[in-house]
């Protein structure tokens, strides 16, 4: 069990403790713990996709943003599932007997959108607009929402299996830095673009008719900008950005990428 799932369990227990109080002023503490529990189960879910999760997204802490990233990686990332296995009588034939191993409930994007920000609103003083209009806190509604969220979290944390992700993967070493790249091929998609998480290498992966995966490194042959020089180099696609430069080995001149803008007079 990851530290995030363990933290979610502790936060949910504290939220339940606060909800057991008849003092409505304790509800804001329940709301705080429930937010932390939601963050915990979402971070835990992200760990299941660690090898596919872009490093630049690691600093993202909002559950909604994290789940959106996971759904880009795997369209079923926030779906409930069950796991069973059986022995095929023959290759390709359905097993006569299936053994159920367990089921998982995921705190999905829809629930996050419905509740997470609403919980945050309970953690602030009434706005000037609400004070001026005489609007008061609806503790009954607040308690009902907190109870609903706590029940959802209990189902998630009671899952007999969790963070089991299945798919068709392609694994290979990056041509540039030798880092191992492992990416899933989405269902119904025959071609995807992937980036090495360690360097600027990027590839197109294509599924062939015999279910093999072909990879193509994104690179371009670029000629020296000196019209009197015929030397060329191979440049990765992600290196073609404004400000990048290289020194030509033939004429020793400096070549630098720039954004271009051409103006045409009106007629």
pLDDT higher at 143 or 190: 143
Boundary-marking domain end, from 136, 157, 178: 157
Q: Is the confidence at residue 7, as pLDDT, over 90?
A: yes
Least confident of 37-41, 50-54, 216-220: 50-54
**pTM for this one?**
0.74
66 and 144 in one domain?
yes
135 and 43 in one domain?
yes
Percent over 70 (pLDDT), the chain: 97
Q: Is the confidence at residue 134, as pLDDT, over 70?
A: no
Q: Is the confidence at residue 22, as pLDDT, over 90?
A: yes
DSSP label of 199: S
- What is the distance between the alpha carbons of residues 244 and 72, in angstroms, rounded to a whole number? 30
User: Which pLDDT band, with edges at 50, 70 and 90, does 135 fall under?
Assistant: low
Q: What is the pLDDT of residue 50?
A: 85
Boundary-marking domain end, from 112, 129, 157: 157
Q: Is residue 261 domain-resident?
A: no
- What is the distance between the alpha carbons of residues 108 and 68, in angstroms, rounded to a whole number? 10
Q: Is residue 263 domain-resident?
A: no
User: Which pLDDT band, with edges at 50, 70 and 90, does 28 fall under?
Assistant: very high
125 and 212 in one domain?
no
User: Which pLDDT band, with edges at 50, 70 and 90, does 238 fall under?
Assistant: confident
206 and 98 in one domain?
no
Domain holding 145, by residue range, is 3-157
193 and 119 in one domain?
no
User: Which pLDDT band, with edges at 50, 70 and 90, does 67 fall under?
Assistant: very high
If 0-12 CB within 10 Å is exposed, 13-18 middle and 19+ buried, where does residue 114 land? middle
144 and 56 in one domain?
yes
Boundary-marking domain end, from 123, 138, 157: 157
Q: Where are the beta strands (DSSP E) in 201-251?
A: 202-207, 213-217, 219-223, 232-236, 245-247
SS3 for 195?
strand
Question: Can you tell me the mean pLDDT for 77-99?
Answer: 89
Q: Is the confidence at residue 83, as pLDDT, over 80?
A: yes
Q: Is residue 262 domain-resident?
A: no
| pLDDT tens profile 196-237 | 878 878 999 998 888 788 889 999 999 999 989 989 999 988
Q: What is the pLDDT of residue 132?
A: 73
151 and 23 in one domain?
yes
Nearest to 156 by CA among 3, 12, 2: 12
Q: Is residue 186 domain-resident?
A: yes
235 and 209 in one domain?
no
Q: Is residue 264 domain-resident?
A: no
User: Which pLDDT band, with edges at 50, 70 and 90, does 265 fall under?
Assistant: confident
Q: Is residue 163 domain-resident?
A: no
- What is the distance between the alpha carbons of residues 79 and 14, in angstroms, rounded to a whole number? 27
Instruction: Output the six-digit token pair for 112.
Output: 């996050």
138 and 32 in one domain?
yes
Q: Domain count for the chain, please give it.
A: 3
| pLDDT tens profile 154-184 | 999 999 999 888 878 888 898 888 888 888 8
Q: For the chain, what is the mean pLDDT?
A: 88
Q: What is the pLDDT of residue 100?
A: 92
- What is the distance between the alpha carbons of residues 241 and 105, in angstroms, rounded to a whole number? 44
201 and 151 in one domain?
no
Q: What is the pLDDT of residue 260?
A: 81
84 and 134 in one domain?
yes
188 and 134 in one domain?
no
Q: Is residue 144 domain-resident?
A: yes
Q: Is residue 47 domain-resident?
A: yes
């Amino acid at each position: 069990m990851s530290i995030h799932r363990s933290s979610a369990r502790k936060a949910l227990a504290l939220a339940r403790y606060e909800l057991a109080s008849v003092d409505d002023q304790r509800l804001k503490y329940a709301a705080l713990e429930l937010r932390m529990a939601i963050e915990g189960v979402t971070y835990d879910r992200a760990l299941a996709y660690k090898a596919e999760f872009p490093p630049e997204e690691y600093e993202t802490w909002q559950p909604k943003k994290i789940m959106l990233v996971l759904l880009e990686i795997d369209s079923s990332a926030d779906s409930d599932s069950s796991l069973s296995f059986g022995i095929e009588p023959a290759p390709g034939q359905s097993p006569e007997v299936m053994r159920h191993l367990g089921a998982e409930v995921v705190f999905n994007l829809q629930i996050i959108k419905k509740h997470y920000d609403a919980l945050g609103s309970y953690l602030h003083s009434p706005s000037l607009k609400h004070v001026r209009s005489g609007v008061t806190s609806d503790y009954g509604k607040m308690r009902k929402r907190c109870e609903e969220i706590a029940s959802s979290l209990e189902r998630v944390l009671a899952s007999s299996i969790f963070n089991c992700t299945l798919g068709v993967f392609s694994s290979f070493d990056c041509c540039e830095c030798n880092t191992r790249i492992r990416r899933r091929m989405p269902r119904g998609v025959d071609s995807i673009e992937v980036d090495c998480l360690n360097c600027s290498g990027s590839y197109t992966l294509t599924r062939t008719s015999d279910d093999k995966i072909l990879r193509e490194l994104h690179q371009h042959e670029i000629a020296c900008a000196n019209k009197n020089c015929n030397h060329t180099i191979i440049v990765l696609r992600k290196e073609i950005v404004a400000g990048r430069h290289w020194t030509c080995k033939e004429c020793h001149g400096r070549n630098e990428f720039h954004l271009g803008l051409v103006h045409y007079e009106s007629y």
